[in-house]
Amino acid sequence: MSVSKEVSSDGKKVQINIVGRFDYKVSQEFRDSYRQVPGQNSMSYYVDLSDASYMDSSALGMLLLLREHAKSRGGSVYIERPSKQIDNILKVANFEQLFTFHYADSASSVAGGDSGVER
């Protein structure tokens, strides 16, 4: 399990990558990935779940906290490339009403722009 981040060269986009289990054990690491970014106004956060193998209710809570953090600063959060299993969890929790999902297997949104398929 690990959480990594990449900030775009213009400082307006943050790509957060989750590898392995997305659960309470990575909560501090996940929080740090967005709280320790300078200049957080109007920031877009992209959470890449393509390499996440598991998600529990604490991960849902972490995503909601990130959403609250972003919205309070005029930003937004995008969920990228969730696996079918994780996508089902997010749908059951009605997260498609709270977040924009990108499903395409294209290059990272931070590196390659908004090239995902939205719904």
The per-residue pLDDT for range 45-96, each reduced to its tens digit, is 999 999 999 999 999 999 999 999 999 999 999 999 999 999 999 999 999 9
Contact 43, 10 (CB under 8 A): no
Q: Rounded distance, CA 57 to CA 23, Å?
A: 8
Tokens of 100: 């924009």
Strand runs labelled E in the chain: 2-7, 13-22, 44-55, 76-80, 100-102
Q: Rounded distance, CA 47 to CA 24, Å?
A: 16
Q: What is the pTM for the complete model shown?
A: 0.86
Domain boundaries, the chain: 2-106
Fold classification of 2-106 is Transcription Regulator spoIIAA (3.30.750)
